[in-house]
Chain A
Amino acid sequence: MPMLGSMLAVTFIEVIAERRAALLTQTAQHLFLTFSAVVLAVTIGVSLGILLTRFHRLSMPVLGTASVVQTVPSLALLALMIPLLGTGVIPAIVALFLYAVLPILRNTYTAIDEVDPAVIEVGRGMGMTNWQILTTIEIPLCIPVVMAGVRTATVICVGIATLCTFIGAGGLGDIIMIGMESGEKGSLLIFAGVIPAIALALALDGLCALAQRLLTPKGLKLAEKAT
């Protein structure tokens, strides 16, 4: 049995060595797909979330629509992209964006909505304009919650990006699917694709955690420590 294990390990290394150029490209594509979709989702999700706190009546339909999109199976959503946007990277990014935007949008809306009115009142008492209240009180206070949404969105995207191979967008799904198609020994290829995907998810999550720490205002951190 240990003999078999070491033979498998040797084959695994050979398989990876033979395909290292392809694996590197696929990892880069995977990163690019995820990163573009999340950045797009942060831009639109945060701005839309803030807008919704100013127009409460719109919040139900907008959040509802985003939730409905989230429930569409990813494979079906990707297939729906083909008649609209064709194959390749662009429809893949759009589909990933649709999945990434809900957690960010909802967290932004909820966080800003739940900022203690007393704090805002204090700001107003000091003569702050609406814009100043938003940028110096509301946004800094809701960063931890928004970032939690961004982290959820990132991990979702790394996972769903493995399906983008089905519409010709590349990524680690390529090698995972080839593994699935290859019968008994194919599991080696599946691992060769899944391991970098997991590493990518952990690395991006770590990056988000770092960003969260840098962006969170000192006051909030102190308050956390005190409790």
Chain B
Amino acid sequence: MKKLILVLIVFAAIAGGLVAYWFGRRADITIGSKHFTEQRVLGEMIAQLIEHHTDLTVKRQLGLQGTMVCFEALKEGDLDMYVEYTGTGLVNILGEGYDANLSRAEVLKYVRERFTEKYKKADLVWLDPLGFSNSYCFAMRDDHAEQLGATKISDLAAHKDILKPGFDHEFTIRPEYERFPDVYGFWFSKPVQIFAPDLMYGVLKEADVDIIDAFWTDGRIKDYGFRLLADDKDLFPPYDACILVRREVLEQYPSLRKALSMLSGKITGEQMRQLNFTVTNELRPHADVAREFLKSEGLIP
């Protein structure tokens, strides 16, 4: 009998926890992000703007696994918004090739049109860009790049036989990766090693590889003293960061659009990299870094 009571208590505790969780998650707006620094900082900024300028309650689901998890959750309504990049929308989500001559504004326009057509049911809105583009690029150790005299990707052609390339998995399945040899006219002779994106920086520093794919605004580039090589033949599409949101919530809460639009055009690439650097180099919590930025821009009191 005693044992039975014990078992009942255990079950009651779990049921209680789940019920508490269920009520805990009832927020008006759920904000998601992928699992890298910039995404978490931007997610926090959006959350704090909404909390300051509307009466809505916000739930944060930051650090989700990759683009497809975020997008799937947004489509299913588990998330109401997250920050997406136009290039990712074009290449990863729509799975389309692109015209290298399109400008940033044209890519945004195209992605908006195609999303309206393709995801009618979810009805997603690309709000105006936040200001910076976080494109893919290549990074090398600064002294190594100096020694080879490399400042742009074309410069690597002369050294293709000696450079050891290391890329992350998502990069190697992108269309840009396949198009690289056609666009630049060379490919590396040494085999490509594939790493988890977060580990590539350490591997490059330790000289286990010589060249990696990186994000333009990643704070760790500064941290590790790497050099970014310019994409001089426009292999990569623009990656303008925009809030991707369900129209449903914009219409349900009229105050929302105004709060969200406060961030449009507000963040330059240099600022974003500095914010990322502050998080990774000083190990500051994302929420604090986001709050300080919003205050310095006068977006929250």
Contact B64 A39 (CB under 8 A): no
Tell whether B195 is near chain A: CB-to-CB under 8 Å.
no
Which residues between 60 and 81 of chain A lie within 8 Å of chain B, taking CB atoms? 75, 78-79
Contact B283 A15 (CB under 8 A): yes
Contact A82 B72 (CB under 8 A): yes
Which residues between 268 and 301 of chain B lie within 8 Å of chain A, taking CB atoms? 279-281, 283, 285-286
Contact flag A166-B224 (CB < 8 Å), given A78-B65, A87-B79: no
- Which residues of chain B are near A40, meaning CB under 8 Å? 14
- Which residues of chain A are near B64, meaning CB under 8 Å? 87, 166-168
The stretch that binds B, out of A112-120, A180-188, A219-227, is A180-188
Contact flag A167-B25 (CB < 8 Å), given A39-B14, A87-B61: no
Which residue of chain A has the shortest Cβ distance to B77 in the bound complex? A86
Contact A166 B280 (CB under 8 A): no
Contact B283 A186 (CB under 8 A): yes
- Tally of A interface residues using CB under 8 Å: 36
Contact A181 B36 (CB under 8 A): yes
User: With the chains together, A26 CA to B223 CA distance in Å?
Assistant: 28
Tell whether A89 is near chain B: CB-to-CB under 8 Å.
yes
Q: Mark A147-179, 1 if CB is under 8 A from B, else 0.
A: 000000000000000000111100000100110
User: With the chains together, A189 CA to B280 CA distance in Å?
Assistant: 11
Contact flag A35-B14 (CB < 8 Å), given A82-B73, A88-B25, A183-B220: yes
Tell whether B32 is near chain A: CB-to-CB under 8 Å.
yes
Contact B37 A181 (CB under 8 A): yes
Chain B interface, DSSP helix/strand/loop, else mixed: helix
A148 to chain B, nearest CB (A): 20
Given A32-B17, A36-B18, A182-B37, 20 new contacts (CB under 8 A): A35-B14, A36-B17, A39-B11, A83-B76, A86-B73, A86-B76, A86-B78, A87-B73, A87-B78, A88-B61, A89-B21, A165-B63, A166-B63, A167-B65, A168-B61, A174-B63, A178-B40, A181-B198, A182-B279, A183-B202
| Interface residues, chain A, with chain B CB atoms under 8 Å away | 11, 15, 18-19, 22, 32, 35-36, 39-40, 75, 78-79, 82-83, 86-90, 165-168, 174, 177-178, 180-186, 188-189
The contact sample of 26 A-B pairs, CB cut-off 8 A, is A15-B283, A35-B14, A79-B68, A82-B72, A82-B78, A83-B72, A83-B76, A86-B73, A87-B32, A87-B69, A87-B78, A90-B18, A166-B35, A166-B63, A166-B69, A167-B65, A168-B32, A168-B64, A177-B35, A180-B196, A181-B35, A183-B220, A183-B281, A184-B202, A184-B224, A189-B283
| Interface residues, chain B, with chain A CB atoms under 8 Å away | 10-11, 14, 17-18, 21, 25, 32, 35-37, 40, 61-65, 68-69, 72-73, 76, 78-79, 196, 198-199, 201-202, 219-220, 223-224, 279-281, 283, 285-286
